[in-house]
């Protein structure tokens, strides 16, 4: 998606995404001023999706103010029919999650179901899950496809992605950074805690995802960010000593 002159940028909270993502609003695409909470139908890299306005960014004036990768583009402000469709999809997602859990338990599969998403165009149901290793879910997919007469996609995600998708509050009392504003997960090392003279108690350094808190990285004193090679060596060394 190439950014055009004078396009507005809004932040849109998609139905199955943790943090809001930027969305281009072409001139004249919205018949009325957008407000926080306005329901939208947008185009993403994965296809059409439903979301709500969560915030606003600057208006472009020909300069690159934001990267176009991973952004959405407004198709239309959601109509009553769009909202009705999304409500039916949400009911189907809840039912698919319930059935998916039952079938996973029946088969004793070593996987944890996180969320189910019905693509807005109705093309497929996406089951997000976490697992420590590879899982043979071929029979599960066949049963779910027969149950819902739809294409089934099983998508394995990491525990950090799970926390971003489900949301929550950190020990600081604020919403999780990955849900609220963090754009990407950066490597975090135990050495970053040592540089800040923090207690090395894993329960205090770990976030809801069970990994080291992302804020350990951006709270480092200025000039003390580790090089990527140092972070890699630290992470490899810590794997044998810390469960995070």
Residues 168 and 174: their CA atoms lie apart, in Å, by: 9
Cα 87 from Cα 37, distance rounded (Å): 16
Residue spans per domain, the chain: 8-78, 84-159, 184-244
Q: What is the pLDDT of residue 4?
A: 45
Residue 2, token pair as written in the block: 């190439």
DSSP H helices in the chain? 80-107, 138-148, 159-166, 177-180, 190-195, 202-205, 215-218, 228-238
Residue tagged 């969560």 (tokens): 54
Residue 179's CB is within 10 A of a number of other CB atoms, namely 21
- With 0-12 / 13-18 / 19 or more C-beta atoms within 10 angstroms meaning exposed / middle / buried, residue 108 is exposed
CATH superfamily of 84-159: K homology (KH) domain (3.30.300.20)
Strand partners, 59: 8
pLDDT at 242: 43
pTM for the model stands at 0.78
Share of the chain above pLDDT 70, in %: 81
Q: What is the pLDDT of residue 3?
A: 41
The span from the CA of 161 to the CA of 178, in Å, is: 8
How would you write the pLDDT of the chain (244 residues) with one tens digit per residue?
Answer: 444 444 678 889 887 776 788 888 887 777 778 888 999 999 988 888 999 998 887 554 444 445 555 578 999 999 999 999 999 999 999 999 999 999 999 999 999 999 999 999 888 999 999 999 999 999 999 999 999 999 999 999 999 999 999 988 998 899 998 888 887 888 888 888 888 888 888 888 999 999 999 888 877 766 455 554 444 444 344 444 444 4
Residue 94: burial class (beta carbons within 10 Å; 0-12, 13-18, 19+) = exposed
Residue 93, sorted as left (phi over 0), alpha (psi -120 to 50) or beta, turns out to be alpha
Give the strands of the sheet with 124-130, arranged side by side: 112-118, 124-130, 151-156
Determine the pLDDT at residue 225.
53
């Amino acid at each position: 998606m190439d950014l055009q002159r004078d396009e507005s940028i809004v932040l849109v909270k998609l139905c199955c995404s943790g943090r809001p993502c930027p969305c281009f609003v072409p001139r004249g695409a919205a018949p009325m001023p957008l407000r926080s909470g306005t329901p939208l139908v947008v185009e993403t890299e994965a296809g059409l999706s439903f979301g709500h306005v969560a915030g606003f960014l600057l208006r472009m004036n020909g300069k690159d103010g934001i990267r176009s990768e991973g952004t959405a583009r407004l198709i239309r402000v959601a109509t009553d029919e769009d909202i009705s469709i999304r409500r039916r999809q949400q009911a189907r997602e809840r039912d698919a999650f319930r059935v998916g859990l039952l079938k996973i338990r029946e088969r004793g599969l070593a996987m944890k179901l996180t969320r189910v998403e019905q693509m807005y165009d109705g093309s497929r149901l996406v089951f997000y899950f976490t697992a420590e290793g590879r899982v043979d879910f071929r029979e599960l997919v066949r049963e779910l496809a027969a149950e819902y007469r739809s294409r089934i996609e099983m998508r394995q995600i990491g525990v950090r992605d799970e926390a971003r998708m489900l949301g929550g509050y950190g020990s600081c009392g604020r919403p999780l950074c990955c849900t609220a504003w963090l754009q990407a997960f950066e490597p975090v090392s135990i050495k970053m805690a040592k540089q800040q003279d923090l207690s090395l108690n894993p329960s205090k350094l770990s976030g809801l995802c069970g990994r080291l808190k992302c804020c350990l990285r951006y709270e480092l004193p200025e000039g003390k960010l580790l090089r990527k090679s140092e972070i890699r060596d630290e992470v490899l060394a810590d794997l044998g000593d810390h469960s995070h």
